[in-house]
Amino acid sequence: MSTSALGFQMSANKKNLRRLGLSGSLAVLILLGGCATGGSVGFPGIGAPKVKNPVSTLPDAFRDMPPAPAGESAAWWSQFADPVLDKLVREALNEGISVQLANQRLIEARNNGRATIAGFAPRLTAVGTADTDYAMGDTKLTSATGTAVEQQTTGQAVLRATWEVPLFGRFGSALSGAKANEAGAQASLEAAKIAIIADLAAAYIDLRNAQQSLAYLQEDLARADSLAAIAHAREAAGLISLADKGLSQGQAAQIRQRVPDAELRVRAALDRIAILRGVVPGSLDETLAPVKDFTFRAEAPLVDAVPANFVRRRLDVARAEQDAILQAAAVGIARADLYPSLSIVGTITSLSSLAGNPLAQTVQRGSSSPAISIPLFDFGQRRASLKTADARFQQALLAYRSTTLNAIAEGQNALSAYGQALARAKAGIEGEQAAQVRFDATLAGFNAGLVSFKDRLEAESALASARQARLANQAQLSDAAIGLYRTFAGSPGI
């Protein structure tokens, strides 16, 4: 029977349905449906496949122990104790373009789900028509009462109810897919919020770092120009060599060359923050004016050290899981298409006269027509569609597994990066302190005439470099803390 090229359909009105019997129709449906799909009467394989965690075993703990918590941080960016950043984040969560896009996608997913579910409900439509007949030439129209008339207008009102019964897991698969689509969109919205907060915090730290670095360069340039002027006067008086004068002038020129790049970095950071906020670049310049002695805070959040718990909270993993469920639902629908479908149509029709000689009486009638459609042979189209849906489901499972593994690696890397950033920040502070001691000693010796002008310049340059290195290390530590927040978002306290 599976090699037949014919489609089988049965329909009956009320009188035929009473004669045939609904039970007999369903019996034929089940028997022929089993033949059409090449399966048994029990219809094996109906419905969507299950989605399980593709990673069978996860480590008991991350390779690096997480840092000690610094307290609760539900609004984690507030831990930076910066009112400007706090205001930017609150505004970006309401007006940020990426968050608004994700919110609109969530609205789209919800309404798609409602439309999908509504598609399985009975439908009721009303149609009204009017027909007018005219007599042509010597021909006359005869009304229902036998009277000859020139014109006859009749109206017809039809109320139609239709329902395709969702058999063989169609409704369950569609409902599962709609829920997965909405859950995935919800996860994407939360991920967008986390991303814009982290990006905005990182951009803010980069701006403050760039502003502070520019301020340091300007201070270094002022000292270098002062030393160059002193060197010029001393060389003219024969107290230092021409080489020492050239060295001081060269050092000032090197610092002056770095200032434009530092200014461009400040401008770029300002524009980046404006874009993340969803406003025109330049409109936040006054709000984000330089702050003297900005404090880079880098306290680590309270993170969950159990990888299994971490994976369950990761929004990208949740999105990948919902994508797999969505593809599983598509498999369930493709499987249901291999089996028969049952449709029920009911109509109520009323025919009456609108103009001209009236009808003898208003005609009213009703009918119901159940129809069973059984796929017998389609050259393997439905089977191919099922295999396509299953291939996409397998791809989604592989993507789910890959996302899970990458999440574990990202969590480990974030912990490692924070640990290394702590070590670099500590070394940077120690390096600046050592450079400061050297500079103070060299300056004292220079003023006493015991240290050469070249040694003074070298100590000045070393202190400037150490200060810039300490600043960069502190900013990197803040970025590493932000990376922890971003990676472990969803852990307790975040």
* Complete DSSP assignment for 333-363: HHHHTTS-EEEEEEEEEEEEEEEESPPSS-E
Q: What is the pLDDT of residue 293?
A: 77
Q: What is the pLDDT of residue 8?
A: 31
Question: Distance of CA 14 to CAs 11, 30, 95, 210, 318, Å?
Answer: 10, 22, 60, 82, 51
Domain assignment of residue 142, given as a range: 1-42+127-165+340-374
Is residue 441 located within the same domain as residue 471?
Answer: yes
Q: What is the pLDDT of residue 440?
A: 93
In a domain, 331, yes or no: yes
**How many distinct structural domains can be found in the chain?**
2
Q: What is the pLDDT of residue 356?
A: 57
By CB atoms closer than 10 A (0-12, 13-18, 19+), residue 360 is exposed
Domain boundary (374, 393, 424) is at: 374
Is residue 142 located within the same domain as residue 172?
Answer: no
Domain boundary (351, 374, 397) is at: 374
Q: What is the pLDDT of residue 201?
A: 87
Amino acid at 153: T
Phi-psi region of 137 (alpha: psi -120 to 50; beta: other; left: phi over 0): left
In a domain, 364, yes or no: yes
**pTM exceeding 0.75:** no
Is residue 158 located within the same domain as residue 251?
Answer: no
In a domain, 97, yes or no: yes
Is residue 302 located within the same domain as residue 403?
Answer: yes
Q: What is the pLDDT along the chain (494 residues), one digit of tens a residue?
A: 333 332 333 333 334 334 334 344 443 434 334 433 433 333 446 777 777 766 666 777 676 655 544 444 346 667 676 888 888 888 888 888 888 888 888 888 888 888 887 877 888 888 888 777 676 766 666 665 666 666 767 777 888 888 888 878 888 888 888 888 888 888 888 888 888 888 888 999 999 999 999 999 999 999 889 888 988 888 888 877 888 888 888 889 999 999 999 999 999 999 999 998 888 998 898 899 988 878 887 777 777 777 888 888 888 888 888 898 888 888 988 888 888 888 888 888 877 766 655 555 566 777 778 888 888 888 888 889 889 989 999 999 999 999 989 988 898 898 899 989 999 999 999 999 999 999 999 989 988 888 888 888 899 899 999 999 999 999 999 899 888 888 887 666 66
Q: At what angle do helices 315-336 and 170-236 cross, to 10 degrees?
A: 150
Is residue 364 located within the same domain as residue 243?
Answer: no
CATH code assigned at 393: 1.20.1600.10
Look at the block and give the residue holding tokens 């009638």. Answer: 365
In a domain, 363, yes or no: yes
Is residue 90 located within the same domain as residue 7?
Answer: no
Is residue 149 located within the same domain as residue 175?
Answer: no
Is residue 298 located within the same domain as residue 370?
Answer: no
Largest CA distance in the chain: 137
Whole-angstrom distance, CA of residue 297 vs CA of residue 205: 10
Q: What is the pLDDT of residue 391?
A: 92
In a domain, 394, yes or no: yes
The answer to whether 393 and 330 are in contact (CB under 8 A) is yes
Whole-angstrom distance, CA of residue 484 vs CA of residue 489: 8
Domain boundary (374, 397, 418) is at: 374
Is residue 149 located within the same domain as residue 290?
Answer: no
In a domain, 294, yes or no: yes
Is residue 313 located within the same domain as residue 431?
Answer: yes
Look at the block and give the residue holding tokens 């960069």. Answer: 472
Instruction: Tell how many helices (H) and how many strands (E) occur in the chain.
Output: 10, 7
Q: What is the pLDDT of residue 378?
A: 82
Whole-angstrom distance, CA of residue 303 vs CA of residue 287: 33
In a domain, 359, yes or no: yes
Tell me, rounded to whole angstroms, the distance of Cα 3 from its chain centroid. 47
Is residue 89 located within the same domain as residue 228?
Answer: yes
Is residue 176 located within the same domain as residue 292?
Answer: yes
In a domain, 494, yes or no: no
3-state DSSP assignment of residue 455? helix
